[in-house]
Structure formats: structure tokens, C-alpha cells
Amino acid sequence: MPILPIDSGRYGSKEIREIFEEETRLRYELSFEAAVAQAQSSIGMIPEPAAKEIARQAKSGKVTLARVRELESVSEHDTAAIVEALAEQCSASSKPWIHYGLTSNDVVDTCTSMQMKDAFSIMEPKIARLAGLFVDKAVKYRSLPAVGRTHGQHASIISFGLKFAVWASELAQHLQRIQEAKKRFLVCKALGVVGTGSLMGEKAIEVQKIAAQSLGLYPVDAATQVVPRERYAEMIFLISLVGSTLDKVAIEVRNLQRTEIGEVAEPFRKGQMGSSAVPVKRNPIKSERVSSLARLLRSFVGVSLENVGLWHERDLSNSANERFTIPMATILLDEMLNAMIRVVSDLAVNTDRITANLEATKGQIYAEFVLEALVKKGMPRFEAYRDIQRIAFEAHDKGKHFLDAIKQDKKLAGKLTAKELGRIFTPEEHLGASSKIIDRVAEMVRRSTKNMA
């Protein structure tokens, strides 16, 4: 009976969950045993017939999860049970060469790398797709002026499309980070009990290199009994960093969907219910889910950093928690990507509300540009600043439009012509370099996501 929501299939795609199922993990572990045996045979370390039989039986499907569990119930050692189950399928002449020169964490850590290699092959195209969706929105809304908010207050004019361009840029950066870091955490280890290669001697380095290449991994340059956990900490951090960007997007969607703002809305399908009590509600539940899962995701970073400092050449204080953190972090990020792709694909953008919100402060959003114009006319900056502040605060208290207040102020009246004021209070005049920035981001995203769709 499922206990965690991940177990019931609530979160994550079927293909990402399958990577971490016990049956699939056993296949990875057996593939590693086969790869090492074949590598050892290729340099004459073990007999070729033995290597072929070990590889054949490892891939035959005869080593079952049920039998491994049965053996583990006696030995209380999961890797030893796999080796024993494999040995049951091999001839007497091949048995001595199974798992030759290896230790359990050679299998465990390399298996994790194999899992994560496949997991990233699923998640990276989704990151690329989401970046592309952001670029599409950025280009579509590049010329739409909107309220730019700082500290939750109206600050200045922003291109609505620029919001999406910023997010697209960060996702492209994440893809670059992942590609650069793969050589550090997608590693194969075949160096034995304390990382010396012990039984295989100097040839262990060559065995590891050949096995890594056959598995599509990178040979670890140095290790103890385990792959250094700095590698895993970096991997979990990168996963959490992508999740944090998705959280940032989700927070913006949630805020802009507030009734008082109303600039965007998540897709709301026919038959969907926003509230069991209030029939009219349309809640941003997918974005809220992303934010909720991001909090859990970030907590795994601290755990992963704690795992860096193991005793001597290793202890088991990392082992139990990694059975949670690595698969859960991966599955949760996959879920967050799926949710955000759905949100952005059919995001409703209320352009009328975006335009109307520009006038929510009755023209005070143009204060930055009034200040600039007065300074160019020769007024000292802080003198102009204080006058604008005085006029704006008085206009707010009296419910007067900022433009009218400027025209009626004894000190500032006449300093700016009607034509100058008209241009200042036209939002399309203040999009700055937005269009150029969006074009540059679009090109960067295209380069970063090439061949990832």
C-alpha cells in the first residue's frame, strides 16, 4: 500500500518514477557488473568466457528482484544479495570473477550515476521546452507596457515580455550549468574497498575507464570507498536551483493572479473546481504546488551538504537519507517542470487589465521620467526630487492625477511643455532596451536548447 504521494503516482511522470523503481535499479546494478567484467576481460584480467557469461546472465532477466530480496533477508546486505543471485546463474568457472575487485559502493554509486544520467535526459528537454515557451511569451508581449513593481509597490514601466525573457535566460543558464557539471557527478567508480584499486592494482584505472565509457559515464578521478559527496551535493543543489527558478515564476503568477491585480490567470479547465464552498474561485493551484514542492526540494541541499563529511574512507551516515533525497529531488523537479509547462502553455494574459493597472496610481508611475526631464532642464537632482515627491504625496492625498498636479504647481508649472509632458506620460515611450534584451535572450535560448527538444 502506498505511503508517500510519490509512491501513489501523484507526483512526477511515469518515466521518471520508473528510473527509481527497485526493479529498474536492479537492472542498472547488473549492467554495471556486466560492464566491469567485460572491461576486465578486455585487458586480460579475467577469463573472456567468464566475462561473457557474467554479462549474459546479468542481462538475461533471470536475476529477479524477488530472489535478491530473499537473499538479502538472510545477509542483510543488498549488494551482496545481488552478487549472490547473479552467481546462482553462472557456472562454477565464472563465479570467482563476479564482482571481482569491487566493493558494494562501486555498484551503488555508479548505479546512481546511471539513474541520474537517464533522469536528466528526461528533465533537460523539459527545461528547454519551458525556456522556449517563455521566449514565445517574451516576443509576443515585448511591446506591452506594464507596471514594474519593487517592494510590492509600483516603481516604473516594464515591458511585460521582459518578465518572461528573464525567466527564459535563467533556464538557459541552468542547462549550461547542468552540462558543465555532469562530468563531476555522472561518474563511474570501480576502485574497490578504499579507492586504491586494491585487488586490481594499477589496472583498476583502465578497468574503470573502459567501464565508464561503455556506460556513458565519466571515470571518477579519485575516491575513497564512495564517490566524494561533494559531487552529490552539487547535483542536488543544481536540481534545487532549477526548482527555485520555477518557484520564482510561480510566485509571480500567483501574485499577478490576485483579484486586485488580475493581469494573468492559470488555465482553468471545464469541470475544474476552485473551492468546495465558493463556486466563483479560480485558484492558482499549479503554481502553489510548485512553490510548495520547492520548499521541500531546497531542504535536500542541507542534507546533501551534511553528507560530505563522512568518517575516514566512509561510513553509512549518508546511505539511508540518500535513498530519499536523490530520487525525491529528481521526481519532484520533474513534477514542477510538468506543472509549470502546463501553466505557461495556456496562461491567460489580460492585456486590458495590464494597461489599466498603469493608471492605478493616477500617473505617479511616471515620476522617474519627470525627474529625468527636469534634471535635463537644469534643475539640481535632489531639488527636483523633493518637489516631485511633494507634489505626488499631495496629489495622492487629494485624489488628484499626478499630471494635473504638476501642471498646477507654482514651481514646476511651465518648466515642461505640453508636448514634453505628453511624451513623458505615454507608457510605450519607456520600454528602453527591452526589445533588444528579448532578442538577445531568444538567441541565447535557441543556442542552449538546440537538439534538446
- Per-residue tens of pLDDT for the chain, all 453 residues: 778 888 888 999 999 999 999 999 999 999 999 999 999 999 999 999 999 999 999 999 999 999 999 999 999 999 999 999 999 999 999 999 999 999 999 999 999 999 999 999 999 999 999 999 999 999 999 999 999 999 999 999 999 999 999 999 999 999 999 999 999 999 999 999 999 998 999 999 999 999 999 999 999 999 999 999 999 999 999 999 999 999 999 999 999 999 999 999 998 766 565 555 555 568 899 999 999 999 999 999 999 999 999 999 999 999 999 999 999 999 999 999 999 999 999 999 999 999 999 999 999 999 999 999 999 999 999 999 999 999 999 999 999 999 999 999 999 988 999 999 999 999 999 999 999 999 999 999 999 888 775
Is residue 77 annotated as part of the catalytic site, yes or no? no
Q: What is the pLDDT of residue 177?
A: 97
Q: What is the pLDDT of residue 452?
A: 73
Q: What is the pLDDT of residue 352?
A: 97
Q: What is the pLDDT of residue 7?
A: 82
Is residue 275 annotated as part of the catalytic site, yes or no? yes
* Integer Cα distance of 179 and 97 in angstroms: 36
* Integer Cα distance of 89 and 86 in angstroms: 5
CATH number of 16-97: 1.10.275.10
Q: What is the pLDDT of residue 277?
A: 53
Catalytic residue among 8, 60, 93, 275: 275
Distances (CA, A) of 40 to 28, 32, 45, 112, 168: 18, 12, 5, 22, 46
Catalytic residue among 73, 151, 276, 312: 151
Is domain 364-424 in CATH 1.10.560.10, yes or no? Answer: no
Nearest to 348 by CA among 268, 426, 443, 273: 268
366's torsion region: left (phi>0), alpha (psi -120 to 50) or beta?
alpha
Instruction: List the beta bridge partners of residue 219.
Output: 188
Among 1.10.3290.10, 1.20.200.10, 1.10.1040.10, 3.40.50.620, what is the CATH number of 108-186+230-357?
1.20.200.10
Where in the chain do CATH 1.10.275.10 domains reside?
16-97
* Integer Cα distance of 132 and 442 in angstroms: 8
Grid coordinates in use for 444?
541565447
* Integer Cα distance of 165 and 432 in angstroms: 15
* Integer Cα distance of 380 and 192 in angstroms: 74
Q: What is the pLDDT of residue 279?
A: 58
Where in the chain do CATH 1.20.200.10 domains reside?
108-186+230-357
The 3-state secondary structure of the chain reads: CCCCCCCCCCCCCHHHHHHCCHHHHHHHHHHHHHHHHHHHHHCCCCCHHHHHHHHHHHCCCCCCHHHHHHHHHHHCCHHHHHHHHHHHCCCCCCHHHCCCCCCHHHHHHHHHHHHHHHHHHHHHHHHHHHHHHHHHHHHHCCCCEEEEEECCEEEEEEEHHHHHHHHHHHHHHHHHHHHHHHHHHCEECCCCCCCCCHHHCCHHHHHHHHHHHHHCCEECCCCCCCCCHHHHHHHHHHHHHHHHHHHHHHHHHHHHCCCCCCCEECCCCCCCCCCCCCCCCCCCHHHHHHHHHHHHHHHHHHHHHHCCCCCCCCCCCCHHHHHHHHHHHHHHHHHHHHHHHHHHHCCEECHHHHHHHCCCCCCHHHHHHHHHHHHHCCCCHHHHHHHHHHHHHHHHHHCCCHHHHHHHCCCCCCCCCHHHHHHHCCHHHHCCCHHHHHHHHHHHHHHHCCCCC
